[in-house]
Structure 1
Amino acid sequence: MRNLSPALILAVALAACSSEPESPNSAAPVDATTEATEGATVPAATPTPLSSPTPVASPTAAPTPAETPAPGKTLALEGLGALRIGEAVPRGSGWAERGAQIDEGCRTVSSPAFPGVYAIVTEGKVRRITVGQRSDVKLVEGIRVGSSEQAVRQWFGGFRAEPHKYEDRPAKYLTAPNAASGDPAVRFEIGQDGKVSLIHVGTMPVLAYVEGCA
């Protein structure tokens, strides 16, 4: 073999070094906006702002009845059990006139099955049902005699307040704003203790009577 000169050997070595592939361990440029986590590239964390985000309005939750009325013990705009506003007293229902009646044109009826409750009848039809003391009858909302005025207003906002005829403030009447429409409506009597003393359901003008048939 022909002897190579030292200069030629050096030139060959330099050429071989410059043609080697790049090492797999060579560091690649890293994007400033990303960081590697277990081989996966994920966005870099964004700093949490110190100010609170804009609040998202949530719907107002309806109040929950404190207690569900027992079947047959629920007073509604339509009436109470078989006793219906705007209809005659049903035969065989247990509702009947009891005690002295002061007006031939206006009668009151009651039932042993509903102590503390009476109804006013005019022209042969039920015009109002009143729930008083000793009664366990409730509205579907759970409001009953003894409930607070605050509980009433929670369910029945916008009711018209009027001074009570026989009791000093804060006693009052709270009447549905649509009572004058001729449709059945609700009226509460609030005592001086701030609690419901009577609940009336019926049609005007009988709904606003303050002494039974008067």
Structure 2
Amino acid sequence: MKQGSIQLGASALLLSLALTACGDRASAPAPAPTATPPVSDQPSEDVPPATAPTPLAPAKNGGLARMDGYGDLRLGGDAAEARKALGGDVAGKAEAPGGCYYLSSSSRPELPGLMIEGEKLVRYDVGEGEDIVAPGGGKVGMGADELRVLYAGRIETQPHKYVDGGEYWRIKDAAGPGVLLFEIVDGKASLWRVGLAPQVDYVEGCS
């Protein structure tokens, strides 16, 4: 065989091998894409559980005082419900079973005093310096003339037990047993309370 023929055959063989290698690479499957981890919609840190709002919101929000109760509490309701509504730091207990006492909470000083008797809520009191609106619109410090307009035709007056010229103004609830009572001293409301009879007429708190 001539040398030129040998070289031509070798070149053809090399070309064939090269084409086979390229075909193998072309037919090899492409590598699978790297999976992206799903994005979590959960917080990375522990989050404390949500707490339900207490039924007795701060009194200055207004609208909580009613003739039949205060907030979610109702006159005649169990004392246990009132304690739960006040939350922590609740003080007050009866000296004798079924006796009269007030519930209060040092962490909720803006709330009215809650009178309990027979382990039932029977009255709540709003005193000097407390800016809570009474049912019908009256407030501590409001003048007698303005109160007469708000409660026209509904006021029953009684003389004050301790203050000369002072009066108790009782306003009954036409739809229920609740009574709103203002103490009028020097021509204006010195305090007010809402409760059931006879407790709403107790002059000195529980007496």
* 1:49-99 Cα deviation digits (max 9, x unpaired): xxxxxxxxxxxxxxxxxxxx853553111212233211013243226334x
* 1:9-62 Cα deviation digits (max 9, x unpaired): xxxxxxxxxxxxxxxxxxxxxxxxxxxxxxxxxxxxxxxxxxxxxxxxxxxxxx
| Aligned twin of 2:123 | 128
- 1:130 is displaced (CA, Å) by 0.8
2:83 counterpart of 1:88:
no
Indicate if the aligned counterparts of 2:132 and 2:139 stay in contact, CA closer than 8 A: yes
- The one-letter amino acid paired with 2:73 is L
- 1:113 is displaced (CA, Å) by 2.3
| Aligned twin of 2:112 | 117
What SS does the corresponding residue of 1:87 show, helix, strand or coil?
A: coil
| Aligned twin of 1:143 | 138
Indicate if the aligned counterparts of 2:77 and 2:120 stay in contact, CA closer than 8 A: yes
Q: In structure 2, what is the Cα distance between the partners aligned to 1:83 and 1:114?
A: 17
| Aligned twin of 1:202 | 195
Label 1:103 to 1:172 Cα distance change in 2 as closer, same or farther (>3 A).
farther
| Structure 1: tracts of 5 or more residues without a match | 1-68
Between the aligned residues of both structures, percent identity stands at 31
Q: 1:183 aligns with which of 177, 195, 201?
A: 177
Q: In structure 1, what is the Cα distance between the partners aligned to 2:160 and 2:100?
A: 23
What SS does the corresponding residue of 1:126 show, helix, strand or coil?
A: strand
What SS does the corresponding residue of 1:92 show, helix, strand or coil?
A: helix
| Aligned twin of 1:33 | none
Task: Map 1:1-214; keep pairs closer than 5 Å.
Answer: 70-71=60-61, 74-89=64-79, 90=81, 91-94=83-86, 96-98=90-92, 104=97, 105-111=99-105, 112-115=107-110, 117-157=112-152, 158-169=154-165, 171-176=166-171, 183-191=177-185, 193-214=186-207
Indicate if the aligned counterparts of 2:62 and 2:133 stay in contact, CA closer than 8 A: no
| Structure 2: tracts of 5 or more residues without a match | 1-58
Q: In structure 2, what is the Cα distance between the partners aligned to 1:182 and 1:140?
A: 13
Q: In structure 2, what is the Cα distance between the partners aligned to 1:147 and 1:102?
A: 36
Give the alignment's TM-score, normalised by structure 2: 0.60
Indicate if the aligned counterparts of 2:160 and 2:168 stay in contact, CA closer than 8 A: yes
What SS does the corresponding residue of 2:108 show, helix, strand or coil?
A: coil
- The one-letter amino acid paired with 2:178 is P
* 1:96-143 Cα deviation digits (max 9, x unpaired): 334x86665111112342437212111111111111112121124331
Q: In structure 2, what is the Cα distance between the partners aligned to 1:72 and 1:203?
A: 22
Which structure features the higher share of helix residues?
Answer: 2
- The one-letter amino acid paired with 1:166 is Y
Label 1:106 to 1:140 Cα distance change in 2 as closer, same or farther (>3 A).
closer
Give the alignment's TM-score, normalised by structure 1: 0.58
What SS does the corresponding residue of 2:149 show, helix, strand or coil?
A: helix
Indicate if the aligned counterparts of 2:115 and 2:122 stay in contact, CA closer than 8 A: yes
Q: In structure 2, what is the Cα distance between the partners aligned to 1:148 and 1:103?
A: 40
What SS does the corresponding residue of 1:93 show, helix, strand or coil?
A: helix
Indicate if the aligned counterparts of 1:115 and 1:134 stay in contact, CA closer than 8 A: no
